[in-house]
Each structure stands twice: as structure tokens, then as C-alpha cells.
Chain A
Amino acid sequence: MRDVDVSEVVRKIADAVSGGEVVPVETAHVSGVSFLTVGKHGVEFLEHLASLGLKVSVFTTSNPSAVDVGGVLGVGGEVLENQLKIDRALRKLGVNTTYLCTPYEFVLTRRRTFHAWAESSAVAYINTFRDAWSDKNPGPLALLSAIAGFVPKTPLYTLEGRRPSLVIEVETGAVGPLEAGLIGMLVGEKFGSGVPYFRGLKFLGEESRREFAAAISTYSSIVFAVVERVTPGWREYWEMAEVRDRLRIGEGDLSNFLRDIGEPDAVYIGCPFADLETVLWIYREVSKRGPAKKPIYVSTSPAVYKSLAGLDLSRYNVHLFAGSCLVVSPYGRRFRTIATDSLKAIFYIPKLHGVRTVPCKRERCIDLAYA
């Protein structure tokens, strides 16, 4: 597969999904870069592309890997060896090996520009909170599009394809990370697809926005929601809405989910990666209470991790790590039950690692670590 052939491959996919139409992209974000998820076939494919001398033609970032940047999780052996092969191949292809699921933290995608992103939570985030346009592209397609510089023009790259079709009335007051994720999950599970228009949905902070985007895109194929007074251009989207279904979500719908809580042996926060404010909030909480009885794992971006290099969290039994997470790393397999405020982690950790998960509000998660 040479350079010209890569363009042909993307065009051929476009022939099948968008009548041959493509759109140029400003940036790309590739997923499927953890050895645990791509396996030896993925390594081989990436090395094959790199051996052809291909390069990305737009600014391209990468998703988290199986190995964390600072070595806190101590992943070694075959996983480390193959992860290094993936790292070399990605660098040769010109990919910025950022190893984060929150590229929007520093890639400030502008409104109504096109992007070839593959991580569903990040796609949902930029569509919903920036009105920057991306479909959920399969990992290899995002990479080939990064090389070609364009993607198939699927409906989400058109205004028509972003027409709201569902109205969701939220009657809960401002929501924290867990509740935001629950609302995303409820809507995702009920409808599966479509473009929801949310009324009354207010987020308590950045972490809530991240959890909402991650949950709705994990439990359905929805990667774009319009949130009234939040999504840029929400008024225009409302004016073009063609509503085919409605849903009302109240406090009761959320509290039902929180009834059965198990006995966790670890707490996990940071899926998607925790932002600086969240890590500092955890620090404030634990510094008031001393070392936690159960370990608290917090995944974050390499940039936030480096900016907090002077902060000694480990003496509180808090383990901050970057560039990986408990979804794509095998580390969490040593635990029986993990408590988390992330609906995405609740979905994937049992499937990928056979570890039980229990949901908790962020404050309750910290309490559980001291129980």
C-alpha cells in the first residue's frame, strides 16, 4: 500500500458509505494503539504502513496505550515489547504519540471544521461541546485518513446529518460526572442512534462533560448531541429539528441505578482522563483524610501528569498515572471489584478484564477508599 494507494483505499470506503464524496480534515486522532486491543495483527499492520515510508499529512494524535508513561503501573514483558513496536511505527508515520483519550484538551478544534477522529468519547466531545465535526471512524480508517488528508463524507460531516431527532427533557439539576454518565447511558441504551436534543441539562464541570460524552458514545452509536445553551449553534439545530421521539429523565431514574453497591478493593477515576482540576480536587480530599485504606487509581494525560510532578500523591495511596488507563492496560486484573464514577469503565473493564465494577458518585468513591 503506497501513498497514492492509501488515498484510493479511503476513496473506496467513501464509494461504499458516502457516494464517493470525501471532505478534507484539519486533524486526526487514531485509536487502536494499545497492544492489548490491537494484538499482533495490529502491530503487523502498523509496521507494514510505516515500512512503506508513509506519513500523516495532518496533525495527528494517538489514544492511550497499554503501558503508562511514567511506569507507575509497571507493565512489562510481551506487552511492553509490542507496545514499543507500536510506538516506533506510529512515530515513523508522523503520529504525535500523545497517548491520551482527551486530545481536545490541547487540540482546540474550531467550530464547523472537519476532523478524522476515532476515539468515540473524544468524537462525541468535540461534536457536542465544540460543534467541530467528526464521525466515529474505525481506528485504521482514522489513520489512513490522516495520511490521505480526507475522510468519507458520512452524514455527520453534513448539516443535514446533524438534524436533531430526539428531545430529552432533563429534570435533575446540575449533574456531576457519574450522573452525567448515567444520563448519557440511559439515552444511549434507549435509542441506540439518532441525534438527541437535551433541554435542562447542566454540567457541574469539565469532568461531567467528559463523562457524558464517553457514556453516550459507549452505550450507543450516538456521537453527537445538542445541549441547549451549551452546544455552539444550539438554536440553529433546534430550528431544524424533526422530532420523532421524546424522553424525560428525573432524579428517580438516576438513583435507581445506584442501589446495589458492592465491596470494592480499589477505586478508579479518570476514564476519560481526569483534567487538572479533578486531580487537584482528589488531592484536597485525601490530604484532609490521610492515607486511603484502598488504592485510588487516577489516569490523566501526560501533560497534566508532568505539571503535577511535584505533588506527592502516593503517600495518600493515590496512584496518578498517564498515557494509559484501566480499560486498555492489564493492570486492573489484580483486583476483584473496582469502584468508579465512569460509565465507560463500567462497560469495558468487566468485558476486557473480567473484573467487577461498581458505580459511585465521585465523593462516594473517595469515601469507599477509606471504608
Chain B
Amino acid sequence: MLKPVVRGSGRVRAQVAKFERPISLLGDLDPESGSILGVDVVGKVVHVPHVVGSTVGPYVLWRAVKVGKAPAAFVARKPDLMLITACVLAGVPLFEGNIDTNCVEIDLGSGEYVSCG
């Protein structure tokens, strides 16, 4: 069970793209291709420890959503004001916690999930 920080709605089945190191939305996320550090994250659950970097980050996620290249959700061990602002602005659900599986079927409102991997 993940703790919902920014709630979405509906239930999706998605692959998990897990990053062991913190990412910067500015620089690491390419909003035109929907990839983080070269890994395709479109429609996936992006799992990061936390985010770092510039206050400009929220603009980049907002752009990815606008061109239809956004992740389905973010999961962070430590969500901070920057990631929360980015997710609320862009309308991307955000959860606090940890996932140890490659594929989840997740309720974007409650954070309940089952492994499908």
C-alpha cells in the first residue's frame, strides 16, 4: 500500500521504471520523448528516491503531460514541495513509499496495488 500524496482516479496496469538515484526533472526528463535518462517512462509508474535540482522542474513535467508523454504516476520515498508542486500542476498522481516489483496494477486514488510482474 502506498500513501497517496497527490491523488488521481481510476485503476491502471503499468510497468515500474525504478531509478536508484535522485533525478532532476530539469535535465533528466525529456518531455518531448517522455524519457528519463534515456529510459521510456510514458504511461509507466516512475519510482525515485526523491527529486533534486532547479525550481524550474515543474514546467518540464507540465510540458510532458501537454504533449501526451507523461508517466502514469510517480512514487517517491521522500516527496518534497518541488515534486508535489510539479505533480499537482501537471495532474500526475504521486505516492509516498516503495515498490519492489516490475509491474503493478494500481488504484490511482488510494495507492492500493497488486504486483503483476
Interface residue ranges, A against B (CB under 8 Å): 9, 12-13, 16-17, 31-32, 37-39, 41-42, 44-45, 118, 135-141, 144, 152, 154
Measured CA separation A26–B89 after assembly (Å): 23
Q: Report how many A-B pairs have Cβ atoms within 8 Å.
A: 68
B102 at the interface (CB under 8 A from A): no
Q: Contact check, B55 vs A135: say whether CB atoms are below 8 A apart.
A: no
User: Which of B13-21, B38-46, B58-66, B103-111 binds A?
Assistant: B58-66
B88 at the interface (CB under 8 A from A): yes
For residue B105, give the distance in angstroms from its CB to the closest CB of chain A.
Answer: 24
Q: Which residues of A contact B84 (CB under 8 A)?
A: 13, 16-17
Measured CA separation A140–B83 after assembly (Å): 12
For residue A153, give the distance in angstroms from its CB to the closest CB of chain B.
Answer: 12
Q: Which residues of B contact A37 (CB under 8 A)?
A: 26, 54, 56
Residue ID in chain A nearest B84 by CB atoms: A16
Q: Contact check, B88 vs A139: say whether CB atoms are below 8 A apart.
A: no
Q: Contact check, B57 vs A41: say whether CB atoms are below 8 A apart.
A: no
Q: Which residues of A contact B81 (CB under 8 A)?
A: 13, 17, 135-138, 141, 152, 154
Encode B57-84 as 1/0 by CB contact (under 8 A) with A.
1111011001000000000000101101
Residue ID in chain B nearest A34 by CB atoms: B56
The SS class assigned to the A binding surface is helix
Q: How large is the interface on B (under 10, 10 to 19, 20 to 34, 35 or more residues)?
A: 20 to 34
Residue picked from B79, B82, B86, B94, most chain A C-beta under 10 Å: B82
List 7 A-B pairs, minimum CB-CB distance, nearest first.
A41-B63, A139-B55, A41-B59, A138-B55, A42-B59, A138-B85, A141-B85
Given contacts A16-B94, A138-B58, A140-B85, 11 further A-B contacts (CB under 8 A): A9-B89, A12-B88, A16-B88, A17-B81, A39-B56, A39-B59, A41-B62, A44-B66, A138-B86, A139-B56, A141-B58
Q: Contact check, B60 vs A41: say whether CB atoms are below 8 A apart.
A: yes
Between-chain CB contacts (< 8 Å), 21 pairs = A12-B6, A13-B88, A16-B5, A16-B6, A17-B84, A31-B55, A32-B55, A39-B26, A39-B56, A39-B59, A41-B60, A42-B59, A45-B62, A45-B63, A138-B55, A138-B58, A139-B55, A139-B56, A139-B58, A140-B85, A141-B58
Q: Contact check, B88 vs A9: say whether CB atoms are below 8 A apart.
A: yes
B34 at the interface (CB under 8 A from A): no
Residue ID in chain B nearest A63 by CB atoms: B55
Measured CA separation A42–B59 after assembly (Å): 6
